[in-house]
Structure 1
Amino acid sequence: MKKEYFVQYSDQSIINSFNFPEDKFVSITVGISDIKHDLIISLVRKMFGLPVFFVLDSMLCRHGKETLIKNKIPFYEHSPDGAIIKVDSVEKLSHVSGLAEELVSNGLSVFIFHGEGLSEQDLIPSRQWNKPIEFNNVDINKVDTFVDVYEVGFTIFSKSNLLNSPEKIPHYIPNHYLLDINSSDI
Protein backbone atom coordinates (compact mmCIF):
# COMPACT_ATOMS: atom_id res chain seq x y z
CA MET A 1 0.00 0.00 0.00
CA LYS A 2 1.29 3.45 -0.95
CA LYS A 3 2.00 6.00 1.77
CA GLU A 4 0.06 9.23 1.26
CA TYR A 5 1.54 12.69 1.28
CA PHE A 6 0.23 16.23 0.85
CA VAL A 7 1.75 19.37 -0.67
CA GLN A 8 0.79 22.86 0.53
CA TYR A 9 2.09 26.37 0.64
CA SER A 10 3.78 26.66 4.02
CA ASP A 11 2.05 28.13 7.02
CA GLN A 12 3.43 31.47 8.17
CA SER A 13 4.74 29.87 11.38
CA ILE A 14 6.99 27.56 9.33
CA ILE A 15 8.22 30.46 7.23
CA ASN A 16 8.96 32.43 10.38
CA SER A 17 10.95 29.56 11.89
CA PHE A 18 13.85 30.41 9.55
CA ASN A 19 15.49 33.73 8.97
CA PHE A 20 15.21 33.84 5.16
CA PRO A 21 13.85 36.72 3.09
CA GLU A 22 10.25 35.87 2.23
CA ASP A 23 10.26 37.97 -0.92
CA LYS A 24 12.99 35.82 -2.53
CA PHE A 25 11.88 32.31 -1.54
CA VAL A 26 8.66 30.38 -2.08
CA SER A 27 7.98 28.03 0.83
CA ILE A 28 6.19 24.72 0.27
CA THR A 29 5.53 22.02 2.88
CA VAL A 30 5.27 18.33 2.05
CA GLY A 31 3.78 16.06 4.70
CA ILE A 32 4.85 12.40 4.55
CA SER A 33 4.34 10.07 7.49
CA ASP A 34 7.10 7.61 6.57
CA ILE A 35 10.35 8.92 5.11
CA LYS A 36 12.24 6.09 3.47
CA HIS A 37 15.87 6.11 2.35
CA ASP A 38 14.93 6.44 -1.32
CA LEU A 39 12.92 9.62 -0.70
CA ILE A 40 15.93 11.78 0.17
CA ILE A 41 18.06 10.31 -2.61
CA SER A 42 15.24 10.81 -5.11
CA LEU A 43 14.64 14.41 -4.03
CA VAL A 44 18.30 15.33 -4.35
CA ARG A 45 18.75 13.61 -7.70
CA LYS A 46 15.53 14.92 -9.25
CA MET A 47 15.40 18.40 -7.70
CA PHE A 48 19.03 19.44 -7.72
CA GLY A 49 21.70 17.06 -8.82
CA LEU A 50 25.09 17.22 -7.13
CA PRO A 51 26.76 18.83 -5.27
CA VAL A 52 24.51 19.58 -2.32
CA PHE A 53 25.29 20.25 1.33
CA PHE A 54 23.71 18.33 4.20
CA VAL A 55 23.67 20.18 7.52
CA LEU A 56 23.26 17.80 10.46
CA ASP A 57 22.42 19.72 13.62
CA SER A 58 22.96 16.59 15.70
CA MET A 59 24.31 13.13 14.84
CA LEU A 60 22.78 10.99 17.64
CA CYS A 61 25.77 10.93 19.92
CA ARG A 62 28.76 9.47 18.11
CA HIS A 63 26.89 7.09 15.80
CA GLY A 64 26.59 9.54 12.91
CA LYS A 65 30.20 10.62 13.13
CA GLU A 66 31.33 6.99 13.20
CA THR A 67 29.19 6.26 10.12
CA LEU A 68 30.82 9.11 8.20
CA ILE A 69 34.34 8.11 9.25
CA LYS A 70 33.74 4.42 8.47
CA ASN A 71 32.58 5.34 4.95
CA LYS A 72 35.48 7.82 4.46
CA ILE A 73 33.15 10.77 3.98
CA PRO A 74 34.81 14.09 4.86
CA PHE A 75 32.75 16.48 6.96
CA TYR A 76 33.04 19.84 8.67
CA GLU A 77 32.28 19.58 12.38
CA HIS A 78 30.42 22.76 13.40
CA SER A 79 29.56 21.71 16.96
CA PRO A 80 30.31 18.75 19.26
CA ASP A 81 27.67 16.64 17.51
CA GLY A 82 26.85 18.64 14.36
CA ALA A 83 28.36 18.30 10.88
CA ILE A 84 28.16 19.80 7.42
CA ILE A 85 28.82 17.45 4.52
CA LYS A 86 29.42 18.37 0.91
CA VAL A 87 27.87 15.57 -1.12
CA ASP A 88 29.39 15.49 -4.58
CA SER A 89 29.09 11.82 -5.56
CA VAL A 90 26.33 9.22 -5.78
CA GLU A 91 28.19 7.00 -3.29
CA LYS A 92 28.34 9.80 -0.70
CA LEU A 93 24.69 10.61 -1.37
CA SER A 94 23.69 7.03 -0.59
CA HIS A 95 25.54 6.97 2.74
CA VAL A 96 24.57 10.48 3.84
CA SER A 97 20.92 9.98 2.83
CA GLY A 98 20.79 6.81 4.94
CA LEU A 99 22.20 8.69 7.92
CA ALA A 100 19.76 11.58 7.30
CA GLU A 101 16.83 9.15 7.22
CA GLU A 102 17.94 7.68 10.52
CA LEU A 103 18.27 11.12 12.10
CA VAL A 104 14.84 12.35 10.97
CA SER A 105 13.18 9.11 12.06
CA ASN A 106 14.56 9.91 15.53
CA GLY A 107 13.00 13.38 15.56
CA LEU A 108 15.98 15.46 14.40
CA SER A 109 16.05 17.86 11.47
CA VAL A 110 18.40 17.65 8.52
CA PHE A 111 18.95 20.61 6.24
CA ILE A 112 19.89 20.32 2.56
CA PHE A 113 21.30 23.29 0.62
CA HIS A 114 21.74 23.66 -3.11
CA GLY A 115 23.34 26.64 -4.80
CA GLU A 116 26.42 28.03 -6.49
CA GLY A 117 29.54 28.95 -4.54
CA LEU A 118 28.47 27.56 -1.16
CA SER A 119 31.00 26.16 1.31
CA GLU A 120 30.74 24.23 4.56
CA GLN A 121 31.73 27.24 6.67
CA ASP A 122 28.86 29.28 5.17
CA LEU A 123 26.23 26.87 6.46
CA ILE A 124 26.84 26.79 10.21
CA PRO A 125 23.41 26.99 11.89
CA SER A 126 22.68 29.20 14.85
CA ARG A 127 19.85 27.96 17.04
CA GLN A 128 18.43 29.73 20.06
CA TRP A 129 15.32 28.58 21.88
CA ASN A 130 13.48 31.87 21.37
CA LYS A 131 14.59 32.77 17.82
CA PRO A 132 14.31 31.30 14.33
CA ILE A 133 17.11 29.10 13.00
CA GLU A 134 19.66 31.30 11.32
CA PHE A 135 22.45 30.59 8.89
CA ASN A 136 24.29 33.85 9.58
CA ASN A 137 27.29 33.22 7.32
CA VAL A 138 25.44 32.21 4.17
CA ASP A 139 25.16 34.64 1.27
CA ILE A 140 21.46 34.24 0.49
CA ASN A 141 22.14 35.11 -3.15
CA LYS A 142 24.16 31.88 -3.48
CA VAL A 143 21.32 29.67 -2.21
CA ASP A 144 18.92 28.38 -4.86
CA THR A 145 17.01 25.94 -2.66
CA PHE A 146 17.04 24.99 1.01
CA VAL A 147 15.16 21.95 2.35
CA ASP A 148 14.35 21.24 6.00
CA VAL A 149 13.71 17.49 6.34
CA TYR A 150 12.02 16.35 9.55
CA GLU A 151 10.19 13.33 10.93
CA VAL A 152 6.87 13.94 9.18
CA GLY A 153 7.92 15.57 5.93
CA PHE A 154 9.96 18.44 4.63
CA THR A 155 9.73 22.12 3.76
CA ILE A 156 11.24 23.53 0.59
CA PHE A 157 12.40 27.14 0.45
CA SER A 158 13.28 27.85 -3.17
CA LYS A 159 13.95 30.59 -5.70
CA SER A 160 13.78 28.06 -8.55
CA ASN A 161 10.89 28.22 -11.02
CA LEU A 162 10.97 24.40 -11.04
CA LEU A 163 9.92 24.27 -7.37
CA ASN A 164 7.77 27.37 -6.91
CA SER A 165 4.30 25.83 -6.56
CA PRO A 166 2.68 22.78 -4.96
CA GLU A 167 1.63 21.51 -8.41
CA LYS A 168 5.27 21.03 -9.43
CA ILE A 169 6.46 19.11 -6.36
CA PRO A 170 4.74 15.71 -7.00
CA HIS A 171 7.03 15.23 -10.04
CA TYR A 172 9.95 14.89 -7.62
CA ILE A 173 8.35 12.42 -5.19
CA PRO A 174 8.95 8.68 -5.85
CA ASN A 175 5.98 6.83 -7.38
CA HIS A 176 5.41 4.58 -4.38
CA TYR A 177 4.00 7.60 -2.49
CA LEU A 178 0.42 8.65 -3.26
CA LEU A 179 -0.63 12.31 -3.40
CA ASP A 180 -3.59 13.20 -1.17
CA ILE A 181 -5.22 15.74 -3.47
CA ASN A 182 -7.91 16.71 -0.94
CA SER A 183 -5.29 17.87 1.58
CA SER A 184 -3.07 19.57 -1.00
CA ASP A 185 -3.00 23.07 -2.52
CA ILE A 186 -3.35 21.67 -6.03
Structure 2
Amino acid sequence: MKKEYFVQYSDQSIINSFDFPKDNFVSITVGISEITHDLITSLVQKMFRLPIFFVLESMIFGYKKETLIENKVPFYEFSSDGAIIKVDSIEKLELVSGLAEVLVNNGLSVFIFHGEGIVEQDLIPSRRWNKPIKFNNVDINKVETFVDVYEVGFTIFSKSDLFNSPGKIPHYIPNHYLLDINSSDI
Protein backbone atom coordinates (compact mmCIF):
# COMPACT_ATOMS: atom_id res chain seq x y z
CA MET A 1 0.00 0.00 0.00
CA LYS A 2 1.36 3.40 -0.99
CA LYS A 3 1.90 6.06 1.65
CA GLU A 4 -0.16 9.19 1.05
CA TYR A 5 1.09 12.75 1.04
CA PHE A 6 -0.43 16.17 0.45
CA VAL A 7 0.97 19.35 -1.10
CA GLN A 8 -0.24 22.82 -0.09
CA TYR A 9 0.84 26.42 -0.05
CA SER A 10 2.44 26.92 3.36
CA ASP A 11 0.51 28.32 6.25
CA GLN A 12 1.61 31.80 7.35
CA SER A 13 2.88 30.40 10.66
CA ILE A 14 5.37 28.17 8.80
CA ILE A 15 6.51 31.08 6.64
CA ASN A 16 6.94 33.28 9.71
CA SER A 17 9.03 30.64 11.50
CA PHE A 18 12.04 31.69 9.36
CA ASP A 19 13.57 35.14 9.22
CA PHE A 20 14.38 35.86 5.59
CA PRO A 21 12.84 38.01 2.81
CA LYS A 22 9.55 36.23 2.21
CA ASP A 23 8.60 38.12 -0.93
CA ASN A 24 11.48 36.47 -2.81
CA PHE A 25 10.42 32.89 -2.05
CA VAL A 26 7.36 30.74 -2.67
CA SER A 27 6.66 28.39 0.22
CA ILE A 28 5.13 24.94 -0.36
CA THR A 29 4.47 22.38 2.39
CA VAL A 30 4.41 18.63 1.80
CA GLY A 31 2.90 16.40 4.48
CA ILE A 32 4.15 12.80 4.57
CA SER A 33 3.68 10.43 7.47
CA GLU A 34 7.13 8.87 7.21
CA ILE A 35 10.35 10.47 6.07
CA THR A 36 12.83 7.91 4.74
CA HIS A 37 16.37 8.32 3.44
CA ASP A 38 15.27 7.13 0.00
CA LEU A 39 12.66 9.94 -0.04
CA ILE A 40 15.32 12.52 0.84
CA THR A 41 17.80 11.07 -1.67
CA SER A 42 15.19 10.97 -4.44
CA LEU A 43 14.01 14.53 -3.76
CA VAL A 44 17.55 15.90 -3.85
CA GLN A 45 18.46 13.99 -7.01
CA LYS A 46 15.28 15.07 -8.82
CA MET A 47 15.19 18.68 -7.58
CA PHE A 48 18.83 19.79 -7.56
CA ARG A 49 22.23 19.31 -9.02
CA LEU A 50 25.06 18.78 -6.58
CA PRO A 51 26.52 20.29 -4.48
CA ILE A 52 23.89 20.92 -1.85
CA PHE A 53 24.29 21.59 1.86
CA PHE A 54 22.68 19.76 4.77
CA VAL A 55 22.44 21.67 8.05
CA LEU A 56 22.07 19.36 11.04
CA GLU A 57 21.30 21.44 14.14
CA SER A 58 21.76 18.48 16.44
CA MET A 59 23.30 15.09 15.85
CA ILE A 60 21.94 13.25 18.92
CA PHE A 61 24.86 13.17 21.33
CA GLY A 62 27.62 12.93 18.72
CA TYR A 63 26.54 9.54 17.36
CA LYS A 64 26.05 10.93 13.86
CA LYS A 65 29.30 12.88 14.03
CA GLU A 66 31.13 9.58 14.58
CA THR A 67 29.37 8.14 11.53
CA LEU A 68 30.58 11.08 9.41
CA ILE A 69 34.15 10.73 10.71
CA GLU A 70 34.20 6.94 10.18
CA ASN A 71 33.03 7.42 6.59
CA LYS A 72 35.52 10.26 5.96
CA VAL A 73 32.79 12.79 5.20
CA PRO A 74 34.09 16.30 5.91
CA PHE A 75 31.77 18.63 7.80
CA TYR A 76 31.78 22.06 9.37
CA GLU A 77 31.05 21.81 13.08
CA PHE A 78 29.25 24.90 14.40
CA SER A 79 28.27 23.77 17.90
CA SER A 80 28.87 20.83 20.20
CA ASP A 81 26.43 18.75 18.16
CA GLY A 82 25.62 20.79 15.02
CA ALA A 83 27.18 20.27 11.60
CA ILE A 84 26.96 21.55 8.05
CA ILE A 85 27.81 19.07 5.33
CA LYS A 86 28.56 19.91 1.71
CA VAL A 87 27.21 17.00 -0.34
CA ASP A 88 28.93 16.77 -3.69
CA SER A 89 28.58 13.08 -4.55
CA ILE A 90 25.88 10.41 -4.64
CA GLU A 91 27.80 8.38 -2.03
CA LYS A 92 27.75 11.31 0.42
CA LEU A 93 24.10 11.96 -0.41
CA GLU A 94 23.14 8.38 0.49
CA LEU A 95 25.01 8.52 3.80
CA VAL A 96 23.83 11.99 4.82
CA SER A 97 20.23 11.24 3.79
CA GLY A 98 20.30 8.21 6.09
CA LEU A 99 21.53 10.39 8.95
CA ALA A 100 18.88 13.01 8.16
CA GLU A 101 16.17 10.34 8.24
CA VAL A 102 17.17 9.28 11.76
CA LEU A 103 17.26 12.88 12.96
CA VAL A 104 13.89 13.94 11.55
CA ASN A 105 12.21 10.77 12.77
CA ASN A 106 13.46 11.69 16.25
CA GLY A 107 11.78 15.09 16.08
CA LEU A 108 14.69 17.23 14.84
CA SER A 109 14.75 19.44 11.75
CA VAL A 110 17.26 19.13 8.93
CA PHE A 111 17.78 21.99 6.50
CA ILE A 112 18.87 21.54 2.89
CA PHE A 113 20.25 24.49 0.89
CA HIS A 114 20.83 24.78 -2.84
CA GLY A 115 22.31 27.75 -4.66
CA GLU A 116 25.44 29.22 -6.21
CA GLY A 117 28.38 30.41 -4.13
CA ILE A 118 27.10 29.15 -0.77
CA VAL A 119 29.73 28.26 1.83
CA GLU A 120 29.25 26.09 4.91
CA GLN A 121 30.18 28.73 7.48
CA ASP A 122 27.37 31.02 6.30
CA LEU A 123 24.61 28.48 7.03
CA ILE A 124 24.80 28.45 10.81
CA PRO A 125 21.23 28.64 12.15
CA SER A 126 20.24 30.77 15.11
CA ARG A 127 17.24 29.45 16.99
CA ARG A 128 15.79 31.16 20.04
CA TRP A 129 12.62 30.35 21.86
CA ASN A 130 9.65 32.28 20.46
CA LYS A 131 11.74 33.81 17.61
CA PRO A 132 12.01 32.84 13.94
CA ILE A 133 15.00 30.75 12.86
CA LYS A 134 17.70 32.96 11.36
CA PHE A 135 20.62 32.20 9.12
CA ASN A 136 22.46 35.40 10.01
CA ASN A 137 25.40 35.12 7.62
CA VAL A 138 23.81 33.65 4.52
CA ASP A 139 23.60 35.86 1.45
CA ILE A 140 19.97 35.17 0.57
CA ASN A 141 20.69 36.18 -3.04
CA LYS A 142 22.86 33.06 -3.36
CA VAL A 143 20.12 30.72 -2.11
CA GLU A 144 17.88 29.32 -4.84
CA THR A 145 15.98 26.83 -2.70
CA PHE A 146 15.89 25.98 0.99
CA VAL A 147 14.11 22.89 2.36
CA ASP A 148 13.13 22.34 5.99
CA VAL A 149 12.71 18.58 6.55
CA TYR A 150 10.90 17.51 9.71
CA GLU A 151 9.16 14.47 11.17
CA VAL A 152 5.89 14.76 9.24
CA GLY A 153 7.00 16.31 5.97
CA PHE A 154 8.99 19.17 4.56
CA THR A 155 8.60 22.75 3.45
CA ILE A 156 10.21 24.09 0.28
CA PHE A 157 11.14 27.77 0.13
CA SER A 158 12.20 28.53 -3.43
CA LYS A 159 12.80 31.25 -5.98
CA SER A 160 12.77 28.66 -8.77
CA ASP A 161 9.90 28.37 -11.23
CA LEU A 162 10.36 24.60 -10.98
CA PHE A 163 8.95 24.52 -7.43
CA ASN A 164 6.64 27.56 -7.28
CA SER A 165 3.28 25.82 -7.05
CA PRO A 166 1.84 22.73 -5.34
CA GLY A 167 0.99 21.23 -8.74
CA LYS A 168 4.66 21.00 -9.69
CA ILE A 169 5.90 19.23 -6.55
CA PRO A 170 4.42 15.72 -7.16
CA HIS A 171 6.88 15.30 -10.08
CA TYR A 172 9.68 15.20 -7.50
CA ILE A 173 8.08 12.73 -5.06
CA PRO A 174 8.97 9.03 -5.61
CA ASN A 175 6.28 6.89 -7.24
CA HIS A 176 5.79 4.72 -4.15
CA TYR A 177 3.96 7.66 -2.53
CA LEU A 178 0.37 8.52 -3.46
CA LEU A 179 -0.89 12.11 -3.71
CA ASP A 180 -3.98 12.85 -1.59
CA ILE A 181 -5.61 15.18 -4.12
CA ASN A 182 -8.47 16.11 -1.76
CA SER A 183 -6.07 17.53 0.85
CA SER A 184 -3.83 19.28 -1.68
CA ASP A 185 -3.89 22.73 -3.28
CA ILE A 186 -3.89 21.32 -6.80
Q: Give your verdict on TM over 0.5.
A: yes
Q: Is 2:163 the partner of 1:149?
A: no
Q: What is the Cα deviation at residue 42 of structure 1?
A: 0.6
Q: Secondary structure at the match of 1:145?
A: strand
Q: Give the corresponding residue for 2:175.
A: 175
- Cα distance in 2 for residues equivalent to 1:130 and 1:181: 34
Q: Is 2:65 the partner of 1:65?
A: yes
- Cα distance in 1 for residues equivalent to 2:150 and 2:130: 20
Q: Give the corresponding residue for 2:55.
A: 55
Q: Is 2:32 the partner of 1:32?
A: yes
Q: What is the Cα deviation at residue 162 of structure 1?
A: 0.2
- Cα distance in 2 for residues equivalent to 1:36 and 1:53: 18
- Cα distance in 2 for residues equivalent to 1:118 and 1:65: 22
Q: Give the corresponding residue for 2:118.
A: 118
Q: Name the aligned partner's letter for residue 136 of structure 1.
A: N
Q: Deviation string for 1:43-68 (max 9, x for gaps)?
A: 10000121000000000111110110
Q: Name the aligned partner's letter for residue 132 of structure 1.
A: P
- Cα distance in 2 for residues equivalent to 1:9 and 1:42: 22
- Cα distance in 1 for residues equivalent to 2:152 and 2:49: 24
- Cα distance in 2 for residues equivalent to 1:67 and 1:3: 29
Provide the aligned length of Structure 1 versus Structure 2. Answer: 186
- The 5 Å alignment of 1:77-116 reads 77-116=77-116
Q: Secondary structure at the match of 2:133?
A: coil
TM-score if structure 1 supplies the norm length? Answer: 0.99
Q: Secondary structure at the match of 1:168?
A: helix
Q: What is the Cα deviation at residue 164 of structure 1?
A: 0.2
Q: Secondary structure at the match of 1:92?
A: helix
- Cα distance in 2 for residues equivalent to 1:126 and 1:151: 20
Q: Name the aligned partner's letter for residue 40 of structure 1.
A: I
Q: Name the aligned partner's letter for residue 69 of structure 2.
A: I
Q: Give the corresponding residue for 2:159.
A: 159
Q: Give the corresponding residue for 1:76.
A: 76
- Cα distance in 2 for residues equivalent to 1:39 and 1:132: 27
Structure 1 stretches of at least 4 aligned residues deviating more than 2 Å after TM superposition: none
- Cα distance in 1 for residues equivalent to 2:156 and 2:104: 16
- Cα distance in 1 for residues equivalent to 2:67 and 2:103: 12
- Cα distance in 2 for residues equivalent to 1:62 and 1:166: 37
Q: What is the Cα deviation at residue 36 of structure 1?
A: 1.4
Structure 1 gap segments, 5+ residues each = none
Identity %: 83
Q: Name the aligned partner's letter for residue 151 of structure 2.
A: E
Q: Give the corresponding residue for 1:14.
A: 14
Q: Give the corresponding residue for 1:130.
A: 130
Q: Name the aligned partner's letter for residue 160 of structure 2.
A: S
Q: Secondary structure at the match of 1:55?
A: strand
- Cα distance in 1 for residues equivalent to 2:88 and 2:78: 19
